[in-house]
Structure 1
Amino acid sequence: MSDTGYGDFEFERRFVARGVPPELLDAAPALIVQSYYLADAGFALRVRAQVSSVPGVDVRSDELTLLERYAEQVDFCAVTVKGPMNGGTRYEAEREIDPLVGVEMVRRGGARVAKVRHSVWLGEDGWVVDVFAGANAPLVVAEVERGGPVTDLAIPDFCVTEVTTDPRFANDGLAHTPYGRWARAWEAELVRDGPRFLQGFGRDHRMTGI
């Protein structure tokens, strides 16, 4: 639960990322494999298994293979209930559970998604860069989260378009309909319509020279 006065509400913005400078990426990032037992109209029930630090993850491997390969190193698991995204705000209640139980739940059920998570501090914000594995490779999504609405954001140049409100890029959406199935159509859409960034969030600006 958040201690910012907003309870279990999370505030985030998400972007498709291209050409992230290698020096910003962790040598030993976190590996996350999560399973969605429910994902419908923005509501989701998720179980996450995480290895906090692991080098050399092969993102070409499928989700279950990654879980099995690193199961004994999982050091954090949680069950999370989510509500629909509304303009960068989403209800998200996360509760930690025993890793042994969490791994078995991810192993046994739900639609899975796996990603390698890099953490980096840019300007005044902490960002995560998620490099997706398996059926969602080679998708990379950069995300910033705050304790309140994400306004006046310095957006790095490697963020090519915003997908905060696009359900296709939500993790529950990617678990059930992986990026690899519709990447070509989306790329054509991006060329046709151009990049998009949410309006009404103060004075966003581009962060150059990264």
Structure 2
Amino acid sequence: MEHENFGDFEFERRFFVSELPTDLTGAQRPSVMVQSYLLASDGYAVRVRAQATNPSRLPTPADGADEVLEMIADDVDFCGLTAKGPYVGGTRYEAERELDVSVGLEMVRRGSAKVAKLRYSVWLGEDGWVIDQFTGANAPLIIAEVERGGPVVDLTIPSFCTHELTEDPRFSNDRLSVNPYRAWVYRFHEELARSGGTFARSFGDNRHESR
């Protein structure tokens, strides 16, 4: 999405999804992307993404990032190089440049820290959402995010979102590339069982559909 009034800043909120909402995604063929991180430290990141909008094959949750990349290599129709800054209150600096696909693919291949995921896109009310289903070392993680041209406040949070991740740096893609979900999933689920799922109170008047 374009952010004409805010330059190279994105405004988003992110949520943990315990189960893919197939009533919204079941009829949709997801795009598949592999992201390689040249830098991932303290919220700063330099990322190269290879994306297949209409892949001929879909990976399974067990497929690692390198396997997924080779699976979609012939279908990749977009590569981009992106510089990111740390999240601050649901806002993050992001500057992206599109790359030649052949160059971008080779850069992703050569990167050491990678994540792979399937991405579904849905409209709910006036908001566009993406739902990312990760594979390999980050399976079975599913994250939903909503992005706007300004701060994401007064949001209707769909029922498939069970816990807010916006202010939890562990769930940024750059952090997942070096500290994958599989390494700490049990600890997170213990936290979730204790809290019952929580939502940030610093983003205006929000409503959760199931509450």
Deviation at 1:70, TM superposition (A): 1.2
| Alpha-carbon separation, structure 1, partners of 2:154 and 2:166 | 15
| Alpha-carbon separation, structure 1, partners of 2:122 and 2:45 | 27
Deviation at 1:196, TM superposition (A): 1.9
Q: How does 1:188-203 map to 2 (within 5 A)?
A: 188-203=190-205
Deviations 1:59-83 (A, max 9, x none): 2111000101111110000000000
Which residue of structure 2 lines up, in the alignment, with residue 36 of structure 1?
Answer: 37
- Range with bigger deviation, 184-193 or 29-38: 184-193
Contact 1:35–1:111, Cα closer than 8 Å, also in 2: yes
Q: How does 1:1-210 map to 2 (within 5 A)?
A: 2-25=2-25, 26-54=27-55, 56-208=58-210
- Range with bigger deviation, 19-28 or 63-72: 19-28
**Structure 1 stretches of 5 or more lacking a match?**
none
| Alpha-carbon separation, structure 2, partners of 1:85 and 1:129 | 19
Deviations 1:51-100 (A, max 9, x none): 01235332211100010111111000000000000010000001100010
Structure 1 residues 20 and 58, CA gap change in structure 2 (3 angstroms): closer
Contact 2:54–2:75, Cα closer than 8 Å, also in 1: no
| Alpha-carbon separation, structure 1, partners of 2:123 and 2:209 | 13
Contact 1:38–1:110, Cα closer than 8 Å, also in 2: no
Contact 2:132–2:144, Cα closer than 8 Å, also in 1: yes
Deviation at 1:45, TM superposition (A): 0.3
Paired-residue identity, % = 54
| Alpha-carbon separation, structure 1, partners of 2:166 and 2:210 | 21
Deviation at 1:20, TM superposition (A): 3.3
| Alpha-carbon separation, structure 2, partners of 1:45 and 1:115 | 18
Contact 2:3–2:150, Cα closer than 8 Å, also in 1: no
Structure 1 residues 69 and 20, CA gap change in structure 2 (3 angstroms): closer
- RMSD after superposition: 1.5
Deviations 1:153-187 (A, max 9, x none): 01011111001111110000110000001000110
Deviation at 1:3, TM superposition (A): 4.2
**Structure 2 stretches of 5 or more lacking a match?**
none
Moved over 6 A (4+): none
| Alpha-carbon separation, structure 2, partners of 1:12 and 1:163 | 11
Deviation at 1:2, TM superposition (A): 3.4
- Range with bigger deviation, 63-72 or 193-202: 193-202
| Alpha-carbon separation, structure 2, partners of 1:170 and 1:129 | 14
1:69 is paired with a residue of what secondary structure?
A: helix
| Alpha-carbon separation, structure 1, partners of 2:190 and 2:38 | 31
2:189 is paired with a residue of what secondary structure?
A: helix
Structure 1 residues 96 and 200, CA gap change in structure 2 (3 angstroms): same
- Range with bigger deviation, 133-142 or 15-24: 15-24
1:64 is paired with a residue of what secondary structure?
A: helix
- Tell me which amino acid in the other structure corresponds to 1:203: D
Give the structure-1-normalised TM-score.
0.95
